[in-house]
Amino acid sequence: MTPQSSTDLEQRERFAKRVFEAASEELNGQSPTDSPAQIDHGGRRLKLPYFALQNALAFIDACLIISASLIGGGLYQMLVMGDFKNADQLLGAGITAALLYVLIGQAGGFYDLRTAFSKKKDVGRIFAQWALVSLLLTLLAFLMKTGASFSRGSIICFGLLALSLLLLSRRISKRFVATAVAEGQVQGRRAIVLGTRNELATLGVDELLERFGLTEIDRVVFSSNGDARFSMTEDESSSLDQALSIARERGANEIVLAFPWNDTRKLELVRDQLRISPLPVQLLPDRRIRALAENPSFRLRKSLSIEIQRGPLSRAEQLSKRLVDVIGAALGLIILTPLMLLSAIAIKLDSPGPVFFRQRRKGFNAKQFPIFKFRTMSVMEDGAIVVQARRFDPRVTRVGRILRQTSIDEVPQLLNVLFGDMSLVGPRPHALAHDDHYGDLLSAYAFRHHVKPGITGWAQVNGFRGETARVEQMKGRVDCDLWYINNWSLALDFKILVLTCLELVRSRNAY
């Protein structure tokens, strides 16, 4: 590398660092020039979701076309004929034209936010799309024999007014989007960026948002001081652990990789290590590919990023599962409140100590949370060593033995479901000490954290309930949990809930 290129690289690194720091301060509600005493946490502006803007632009265009149909056609009839008769027909024509225009725009990438971010004018595209819509409307009117219902003057006024409004709307929307991005009001998917120093130096925060819809919450330099081709070096493993830890603590939506595409072996190693995370992983185009894509002679319709790992559940699946969890947990707490009160009184009368037992467990993305259970033992273990309950365990109290055999001790976990730490159905969470122990013995153990843990699960209804004295027993439980994750559906959750009720009646594995 020449001295000039080395200096240029350092300058770009410093520039990227300043941009990143400024963006981080903006995300935290602080202007880069504000001192801590000047921060007004109560005055933060509402963030606009990145992908909601795309739908908003399409919705505005549709409303303008419908309005143009009614206003243009209505004004013509009022001025020329002195009466406004066929408002319903004009409304139908406007709705049809709006649907056609939006569908054509969606298919051609007209509402892609990269187009909205672009400074290139879209006059030609708007003219072409509206001309196509006009031809399609004429064809539909001919086929349905409704052309005689519309006067030519009304149609001309409608077409000219709609075209004018669409041109004006696009100009205003581009200014609005540019201003919103400049002021940090657009919120993309929260992402941790992991990459080499050279790639990160050329990747700006604005580019991540405009081109990929990502809001960078932190970036981690992938330190590579060795040339290990078949395994991760200590520095590389440390970088990955740091990225995973930040993603877990700050609630990232995905992990983004910025690596040279020609280093395929390193990419494979990183991908394999990131499989323990449930977050989607996206590989961005490297600086050479991005430079090639900026060539005006090329026309890109889709993003060049590659999804190398998808989340176990889509956003719609997560919402549907969460809805069932909230409704089910709320109903369960209402119905079981008398039983919980009786259990609490019995525990206090039977032995000294608190009613509830709290212990740290790992949930989605290995994030720790306190699990709630009725206390059934005379000890409250939550450290580096946690001894599993065994048959005729002397630590179990008299009331505790009944609660454990009937699984009533698990009822308070409905609170964990309402809090969002757990689900009604999912892999059962284990004590931290057991997670560390079995995580070293079973390579697939960490995959259990790809979904929220559950009060019951596929493993429990298949006989893997209670003590796991042998590694083979835990392996069977993990295999069931992985099958559940890979085959999840709401129908499967309902099936497991029904089977759990039947299992509670006949099972004697809990003690």
The domain limits of the chain are 3-30+185-309, 48-182, 315-506
Q: Which long-range contacts (CB under 8 A, 24 or more apart) does 472-478 make?
A: 474/438, 474/441, 474/442, 474/445, 475/442, 477/428, 478/438, 478/442, 478/444, 478/445, 478/447, 478/448
What was the pLDDT predicted at 8?
Answer: 46
As a whole number of angstroms, the distance between CA 463 and CA 479 comes to 13
As a whole number of angstroms, the distance between CA 318 and CA 51 comes to 18
Return the CATH superfamily for domain 3-30+185-309.
NAD(P)-binding Rossmann-like Domain (3.40.50.720)
Over residues 213-236, the pLDDT tens digits come to 888 899 998 876 555 555 677 888
* Inter-CA distances, 484 with 277, 337, 388, 490, 495, Å: 17, 30, 24, 11, 12
Instruction: Name which of 94-103, 155-164, 283-292, 348-357 the model is least confident about.
Output: 283-292
**pLDDT bracket for residue 299 (50, 70, 90):** low
Q: At residue 12, does pLDDT exceed 70?
A: no
**pLDDT bracket for residue 37 (50, 70, 90):** very low
Instruction: Give, in degrees to the nearest 5, the angle at Cα 177 between 174 and 179.
Output: 105
**pLDDT bracket for residue 15 (50, 70, 90):** very low
Alpha-carbon torsion 37, 43, 49, 53, what sign? negative
If DSSP codes are grouped into helix, strand and coil, which group holds residue 186? strand
User: Who wins on pLDDT, 89 or 370?
Assistant: 370
Q: Checking DSSP bridges between strand 281-283 and strand 306-309, what pairing results, if any? A: antiparallel
In this prediction the pTM is: 0.65
Average pLDDT over residues 140-164: 79
